[in-house]
Amino acid sequence: MKAPEELKDYQRVRLLAIRSLFEIVEQSSEGTVIVDRDARIVWMNERYARRFGLESAEQAIGKPCESVIPGSLMREVVRSGRPILLDMLDAPKDPLVVMRLPIHDDQGVTIGAIGFALFDQLRSLSPLLTRYQAMQAELASTRSLLQARQAKYSFSHFIGTSAASLEVKRRARRSATTESPVLLLGETGTGKELLAHAIHSASPRAGKAFVSVNSAAIPEALLEAEFFGTAPGAFTGAERKARPGKLQVAQGGTLFLDEIGDMPLNLQSKLLRVLQEKEFEPVGSNQVIRSDVRLIAATSIDLEDAVRQGRFRADLYYRLNVLPIQVPPLRERLEDLPVLCESILDELRLGAGHQHHELDDEALALLARHAWPGNIRELRNVLERAALLGDDTLLGAEALRAAIGTLSPLPEPRPSANAALHIAPGLDFQSAREAFERQLIGETLAAHDGNVNEAARQLGLGRSTLYKKMATLGLSS
C-alpha cells in the first residue's frame, strides 16, 4: 500500500507528532512547566501557576523552579539529561502524578526540561495512590512502634564500682554476645529490668525491638493471648482481625519476661515449646509461626524452691538457667551508695527541675545503716522525698531519717564458713573428714540462706557435686 504523500516527509511528520503530543498532554494535564538549562522557569500554564498560589503564570518566569514548585526535580532532569517518567509530587491540595522530560538541541545537548502534572491519570491512578498512602502510613506507624520498643538503658546506667557490681556487669556483657537465654535473679528493685535493656543494647539485636512482658501484671486469662496473639474472632469479645502477640512484635529482637516465676504452669509448657522448637501458634489459629527472639527472663522468687514445690516446671527452669546472673541487693553492695546517690540526685535535678542536692557524711553514714528492703527503687524514693521536703541543698542525716521513716537494721553477721572448724578428738581419718565436710558445707549453706548455687560457688564445687555430698552427709538446704 502506498503511503500518503503528506507522510513521506519524516522530519515534518515528527515535528507534527511532537506538537500534537505536547498540545494533547498540556490540555489534559493539571499543569505544564518548562525550564531552561539553569532550571529557571521560562514558561508555565495558568492552571499550574494558580495551583501553587500565583495570580498569573507571568509571576513565575525567570524564577528557580524550586521556589515556585517546592520539591520539584526539574533541576535533576536538566543536570542528568535523563527523564523521570512517573513520580509523586506533593502539592498544596493533593499529591500529583508528574512526568519530567529533558529538552535537547540538535547536537543532543540538554538545554532545559519540561514537566507535566498528569491530571486525568491522577484520577485513574487513585487506587494506586490510596495504596501508596496506606503503605506510607503503615511504614510511619511501624517506625514509631519500633522506636517505642527500643531499649532505654545501657550498661553505663547500672551504677556501681563494688566487686559485686562489676561482676554482674561482666557477666551481663558476656551474655550480650550470645543467643542463649539469660536468667536474672534478685530481689525486687535491684535493677534486673535495667540489665535486660542493657544486654539487648549491647547485643547484635540492638536495632530490633525490645518487648517486655510482666507475667505478674497481666490476668492469667489474658496472658496466653498477650503472649502468643490471637486469630480473628478467636474467642467471644476478640477483635475481628488478627492481633499479634508479644512474640510476634519481638521478632528479630529480644523478649523480656519479668517475674517469670509467676507464670501459670500451662503457659510454662507452651513457652518451653517456643524455646525448644522455635515456633508457636496464635490462640484460635492453626497457623505455625517461626519464632526468632532472644529471651531474657527475670524473677525475684527462688525458682529452685518453686520447682521443688511444683509451682514451676523443672524442664523450663533448666532451659532458662543457661546464663544465670544473680543481681545483689543494695545491702550487699553498700560501698556503691555514694555513686548511686550522686547519680540519682543528678537525675532528679535534670528530670524535674529540682535544685542540685548533695549529701553530707552523716547522711551517707545513716544510709549505710539501713537494710534497704526495697533496694535501689527505695533509695530513689527516699532521696526524691528528702529533696522535695528539704529547704537546704545539702541534705543531712535528719532530712534522710525523716524521708526513710522507720530504719530497717542490717541483718546480724552470720557465722562465717571460713571460721575455725572444730573436730572432736579420737576420730579416725574418714570420720574426721566427714565431720569436717559436714561442718564446712553446713555453715556455708547457712551463710547463704540455703542457696545451693551460691554455696557451691564459694566452695569451688559443681552444684551436682555439692548435692551428692549433701545427700551423703544427710544435709538439706
The string of pLDDT tens digits covering residues 353-412 is 567 888 998 999 999 989 999 999 999 999 999 988 877 888 888 998 999 988 877 776
pLDDT digits (tens, 9 = 90+) for 179-238: 999 999 999 999 999 999 999 999 999 888 899 888 888 887 788 888 888 887 655 555
* Paired strand residues for 297: 183, 257
* Paired strand residues for 230: 243, 283
Write the CATH number of the domain with boundaries 155-232+243-326.
3.40.50.300
Is 140 a residue whose pLDDT tops 90? no
Percent of the chain past pLDDT 90, that is, above it, reads: 35
pLDDT of residue 423: 62
Confirm whether pTM is higher than 0.75.
Answer: no
Cβ burial of 33 (10 Å; 0-12, 13-18, 19+) is buried
Residue with cell 547500672: 158
Residues in the chain: 477
pLDDT of residue 417: 44
Better-scored residue on pLDDT, 28 or 231: 231
Contact 306, 312 (CB under 8 A): yes
The CATH number, out of the four listed (3.20.20, 3.40.50, 1.10.10, 1.10.1740), of the domain defined by the range 429-473: 1.10.10
Say which CATH class 331-404 falls into: mainly alpha
Question: Please, which pLDDT band fits residue 89 given cuts at 50, 70 and 90?
Answer: confident
Contact 201, 153 (CB under 8 A): yes
Is 121 a residue whose pLDDT tops 60? no
**Secondary structure (3-state) at 376:** helix
Per-residue burial over 168-197, b = 16 or more CB atoms within 10 Å of its CB, e = otherwise: bbebbeebbeeeebbbbbbbbbbbbbbbbb
pLDDT digits (tens, 9 = 90+) for 341-350: 999 988 887 6
pLDDT of residue 34: 93
pLDDT digits (tens, 9 = 90+) for 300-353: 999 988 999 999 999 999 999 999 999 999 998 999 999 999 999 888 876 655
* Paired strand residues for 213: 257
Per-residue burial over 435-448, b = 16 or more CB atoms within 10 Å of its CB, e = otherwise: bebbbbbbbbbebb
**Helix and strand element counts for the chain (H, E):** 20, 16
Read off the pLDDT of each residue in 113-126 and give the average, rounded to a whole number: 69
**268, containing H or E segment:** helix 265-277
pLDDT of residue 127: 64
| Dist CA 276 CA 294 (whole Å) | 12
Q: What residue segments make up the domains of the chain, in order of their start?
A: 5-124, 155-232+243-326, 331-404, 429-473
pLDDT of residue 428: 72
Does domain 5-124 match CATH 3.50.50.60?
no
pLDDT of residue 124: 56
Pairing of strands 110-117, 96-104: antiparallel
Question: Please, which pLDDT band fits residue 448 given cuts at 50, 70 and 90?
Answer: confident
pLDDT of residue 6: 54
pLDDT, mean over the chain: 83
Per-residue burial over 120-150, b = 16 or more CB atoms within 10 Å of its CB, e = otherwise: ebbeeeeeebeeeeeeeeeeeeeeeeeeebe
Is 287 a residue whose pLDDT tops 80? yes
